[in-house]
């Protein structure tokens, strides 16, 4: 069984679906036509270019090209995490890249080499989409962790300084905010796993079923990817925050204001 193709006329019909929400937004006074149009155009162009590149990548199936593509994804994710978290890239780029790269590569390698075990461990059809799904969810978790942690520190700066004056170390003083940030980062993944199958059918499982896979095989792959997403998000968030502590504070354990983007 093959997945049914969507012809160009039907794709045009699909874009027509955007007209209804656009009209409703206009009626309630939200002038988002330009933002919506740019977002849809960017999505179309970017995914089209990625589709062309991935077709070539899958055909060549070269381990160096596969690795280069994953490195590019990691670097783009790194920039996105820091920008969305409100932290300056020049201070945290290497720390965040180290955290997400180590967790995503470890989780992807574990899944591909020990669990799935394809004929070629560097097979682009496995490592590229799996790494992409793990990284996408890891990105969201790290944005939440960093943003919550540094927002809480700035909001409770007097409380943090009080802990220090009472004799606490830097780690002891930031630990309550650290725990809260990690919990916030993991909550979406934990909630998603708890309701998966009852509230929603996840994208990977649905895609495999539409592609002709047996439902039970699709279920096993979905369980595997969710476990890897959870592990990667937890590992990356903890490493990322821990590494950032050495960058964000001075020798007197005072939070450096210059590392935070002004908004």
Q: Are 175 and 212 in contact (CB under 8 A)?
A: no
Q: What is the pLDDT of residue 259?
A: 86
Domain borders along the chain are 7-60, 62-259
Q: What is the pLDDT of residue 260?
A: 85
> How much is the pLDDT for 59?
87
> 81, 92 in Cβ contact below 8 A?
no
The mean pLDDT value of the chain amounts to 88
What pLDDT score does 55 carry? Answer: 86
Q: What is the structure's pLDDT at 216?
A: 82
Looking at residue 78, its pLDDT comes to: 95
Comparing CA positions, the residue from 20, 12, 71 lying closest to residue 44 is 12
Structure tokens at 255: 């939070």
Regions of the chain with pLDDT less than 50: none
> Sign of torsion, CA 100 184 81 62?
positive
d(CA 136, CA 132): 6
Element (H, E) at 208: helix 203-210
**Do the beta carbons of residue 250 and residue 158 sit within 8 Å?**
no
| pLDDT at res. 148 | 95
Residue 107 DSSP SS3 = helix
The pLDDT, as a whole number, for residue 200 is 64
Q: Which single residue is written with the structure tokens 């919550």? A: 148
């Amino acid at each position: 069984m093959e997945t049914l193709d969507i012809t160009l006329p039907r794709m045009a019909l699909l874009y027509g679906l955007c007209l209804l929400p656009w009209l409703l937004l206009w009626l309630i006074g939200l002038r988002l036509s330009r933002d919506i149009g740019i977002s849809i155009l960017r999505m179309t162009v970017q995914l089209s270019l990625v589709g062309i590149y991935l077709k070539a990548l899958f055909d060549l199936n070269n381990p160096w090209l596969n690795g280069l593509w994953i490195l590019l994804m990691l670097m783009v994710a790194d920039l996105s995490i820091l920008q969305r978290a409100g932290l300056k890239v020049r201070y945290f780029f290497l720390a965040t890249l180290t955290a997400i790269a180590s967790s995503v590569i470890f989780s992807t390698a574990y899944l591909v080499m020990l669990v799935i075990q394809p004929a070629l461990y560097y097979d682009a059809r496995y490592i590229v989409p799996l790494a992409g799904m793990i990284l996408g969810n890891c990105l969201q978790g790290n944005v939440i962790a960093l943003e919550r942690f540094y927002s809480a520190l700035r909001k409770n700066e007097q409380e943090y300084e009080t802990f220090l004056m009472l004799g606490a170390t830097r780690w002891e003083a930031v630990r309550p905010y650290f725990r809260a940030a990690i919990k916030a980062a993991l909550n979406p993944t934990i909630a998603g796993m708890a309701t998966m199958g009852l509230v929603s059918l996840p994208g990977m499982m649905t895609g495999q079923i539409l592609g002709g896979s047996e439902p039970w095989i699709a279920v096993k792959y979905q369980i595997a990817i969710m476990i890897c997403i959870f592990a990667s998000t937890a590992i990356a968030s903890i490493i990322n925050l821990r590494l950032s502590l050495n960058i964000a504070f001075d020798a007197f354990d005072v939070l450096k204001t210059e590392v935070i983007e002004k908004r």
